[in-house]
A and B are shown apart, each in its own frame.
Chain A
Amino acid sequence: MSDDRPDMSRPACPSPLPHHDRIVLGHGGGGGLTRELIEKVFLPAFTNSVLADLGDSAVLPAAWFSSNGGERLAFSTDAYVVQPLVFPGGSIGDLAVNGTVNDLAMRGARPVALSAAFILEEGLDVGVLSRVVADMARAARTAGVAIVTGDTKVVERGRGDGLSITTAGIGLVPAGSRLGSRPAEAGDVILVSGTVGDHGMAVMSVREGLAFEAPIQSDSAALHGLVADLLAASPDVVLLRDPTRGGLAMTLGEIVAENGIGIEFDEGAVPIDPVVASACEILGLDPFQVANEGKLVAVVPAAGADAALAALRAHPRGGKAARIGRVVADHPGLVVARTPYGGTRIVPMPLGEQLPRIC
């Protein structure tokens, strides 16, 4: 018997590769590969006792909620898609944590727990996923919030744009919070917590291959600490919004539409980083319509405006906070900007995505 005959005594099906450096469809199949992804990528990053349980739903210990009574629960969800997935100052991972934390914070809530659902595209570099997951874990630690439950699905190559994340969050609104207890009214003051347009231009400048002396950094950050300081100094804050998609123009537009008031603001008073302003000029974009991921707009009673502004400025996330305008009874439903030349113009809500102008 020659040596080249097959050896049939030990059937040798190839065993599956123990490790992939790219996402394959099987990672979303719910079997061993899914388990492996959870154990190798997600669990080490998001480590906490509730998640480690890996049950069908997370059961939160009562101790996570204080028990002085009267709190209300805030609950929010948001889906995150962005290209590129990683950009100066952050990644889709930071956004997915900070964005949902901020939605809770804008209602005065202290974030408690997040869920995270991932849709991965077949072929995604596992290194990219690990980076994004590490960013989520870091953002969650910084924000003091636990990621307690999650899910992963994989879609075929070409059908997923790399990676998208949906997070939901619950938070506690402290007993006695007066935030939102009355609508905005004429005389109230509009504050913004810092420079506008940073996040959108950080992403855009990478996408368009624009290089600046100092790259524009996304402002992605959790704001509940800033909000807590603000509310402590100025408990009568009327409302808070984070000017994300559509930027300052969208947020002010929503405020006038929902409150039946007008807003007048001073264009020159809105803080804008000079590099962001230059990038907007080059691309023909309006910085007031560009997204932020770590800023808030506050409507505060005139009497408490100075204290509120001082509280914002005293916080590391609000050093460049500014008083930009006021609520007026004239022109309800309209946001009017006063130009540095003394004229006025109406600032519209953006229609859709901003389209760069030809020249």
Chain B
Amino acid sequence: MKHLAEYRDGDTARRLAAGIGKIVTRPWAIMEVCGGQTHSIIRHALDQLLPPEVELIHGPGCPVCVTPLEMIDRALAIAALPGTIFCSFGDMLRVPGSHGDLLGVKAAGGDVRVVYSPLDALELARRHPDREVVFFAIGFETTAPANAMAVRLAERGGVKNFSVLVSHVLVPPAIAAVMESPGNRVEAFLAAGHVCSVMGTLQYPPLCDRYRVPIVVTGFEPLDLLDGIRRTVVQLEAGRHELENAYSRVVTEEGNAVARAVIADVFEPCDRTWRGIGTIPASGWRLAERYAAFDAEHRFAVGGIVTAESPLCRSGDVLRGAIKPSSCPAFGRECTPRTPLGATMVSGEGACAAYYHAGRFAADREGRR
């Protein structure tokens, strides 16, 4: 905790924010890609410290939020099967599918368990050889190494009753999709530090060049975020568009070579549907052919489940940065954390939930920023 306190000092934060105010000369729109960063910004009210010229647009980086509806429906179908133990990260349990959520399946008798690591799910499979244990392998590049390792260990250990329902998504294609979307206003990105700790930074300079946008690799603590924003504004004001690493205590250029090797062994790129956004080419990972035996979609024949979104929910526009959560007509009315229409209202990292919990709906109505 000592090392966290160092990155949370209030005086330094105010100094950094004031410094940004001194260098900014015109409005800029900066997208933080990662949901963890959105959460931290709202939780610590960092956006209220920034000069009015700097607008933060909350990006599509909550893995829970962008997991496609049909994948949730497949999870619900598998979890309801007798004899299965369905394991998931905690915040997936409340994400609404077409008909209910995993908590509802659990209440109806399904064996749904929260785990902190896919390796815990693998251990469950070893302890319950008579049950099918399925892990919901979602997330960005950050969670992929552990998910890949679980599959590899299952294969090497001959754990045949273990499988994974994979819905991995990738950051660089999402940045490209945001830049190419009609009406895009984003002029710079904070790249997600933890994704880069795995993948390194080499994928980003080509994006900086192609779209002429600064990309700053940024951490999650208040001072990390303010420093990332400051460096982004410095580049924008100078007309530069480079990759910069503001999270060098964690991120290196080459990333985690061991983790990348496991990922490359277990997963292969695929097109992926992002909830609320649509299909982005080569924006996901699925299990490589040689690990197909561990693919829950095949094992339980749920690949045919295809479903559509609630027409009221504008989470796609939120995830693309086209509207603020509080601008959605359903926000705080039909759609609340108690009655979520879309996943952005469910996950702790979702932009809509972050806004709702931080009371932005009230502040916005009072006409403040």
Contact = CB atoms under 8 A, between A and B. Distances in A.
A268 B91 contact: no
A355 interface: yes
A342 B349 contact: no
Contacts of B45: 339, 341-345
Contacts of B83: none
Interface string A327-340: 00001001010011
Interface stretch (B289-297, B323-331, B354-362): B354-362
A100 B351 CA distance: 40
Contact of A331 (B39, B357, B362): B362
Is the interface on chain B under 10, 10 to 19, 20 to 34, or 35 or more residues? 35 or more
Of listed A274, A336, A340, residue having the most chain B CB within 10 A: A340
A310 interface: no
A275 B349 CA distance: 24
Contact of B36 (A331, A348, A359): A359
Secondary structure of the A contact surface, majority rule: loop
B90 A355 contact: yes
Nearest to B48: A343
A357 interface: yes
Interface in A342-359: 342-348, 351, 355-359
B362 A358 contact: no
Contacts of B356: 348
A341 B1 contact: no
Contacts of B77: none
B341 interface: no
B10 A341 contact: yes
A283 interface: yes
Contacts of A356: 89-91, 114, 116
B43 A342 contact: no
A202 B18 CA distance: 40
Contact of A283 (B13, B36, B49, B116): B116
Contacts of B64: 358
Interface residues of A, number: 28
A342 B49 contact: yes
B114 A334 contact: no
Interface stretch (B52-60, B137-145, B305-313): B137-145
Given A340-B8, A346-B358, A359 B44 contact: no
A358 B17 CA distance: 29
Nearest to B44: A339
A281 interface: yes
B338 interface: yes
Contact of A355 (B8, B91, B138, B139): B91
A274 B362 CA distance: 33
B1 A274 contact: yes
Contacts of B222: 341
B93 interface: yes
A240 to B, nearest CB: 27
B94 interface: yes
B114 A355 contact: yes
Of listed A340, A341, A355, residue having the most chain B CB within 10 A: A341
Contacts of A345: 42-43, 45, 357-359
Contacts of A284: 90, 348
B288 interface: no
A278 B44 contact: no
A343 to B, nearest CB: 2
A342 B90 contact: no
Contacts of B358: 345-346
Contacts of B36: 357, 359
B219 interface: no
A345 B359 CA distance: 6
B258 interface: no
Contact of B49 (A278, A336, A341, A355): A341
B13 A341 contact: yes
Given A281-B4, A341-B10, A351-B337, A346 B49 contact: no
B46 interface: yes
B347 interface: yes
B219 to A, nearest CB: 13
A336 B63 CA distance: 28
Contact of B347 (A274, A277, A346, A357): A357
Given A274-B1, A334-B362, A341 B44 contact: yes
B91 A358 contact: yes
B260 interface: no
Contacts of B194: 359
Contact of B139 (A275, A340, A341, A358): A358
Interface of A: 208, 268, 274-275, 277-278, 281, 283-284, 331, 334, 336, 339-348, 351, 355-359
> 7 closest A-B pairs (Cβ-Cβ)?
A343-B45, A346-B359, A355-B90, A343-B48, A356-B90, A340-B10, A358-B89
21 contacts: A283-B116, A284-B348, A340-B44, A341-B13, A341-B45, A342-B45, A342-B48, A343-B49, A344-B45, A345-B357, A346-B357, A347-B357, A348-B356, A348-B357, A351-B337, A355-B90, A357-B36, A357-B349, A358-B138, A358-B349, A359-B140
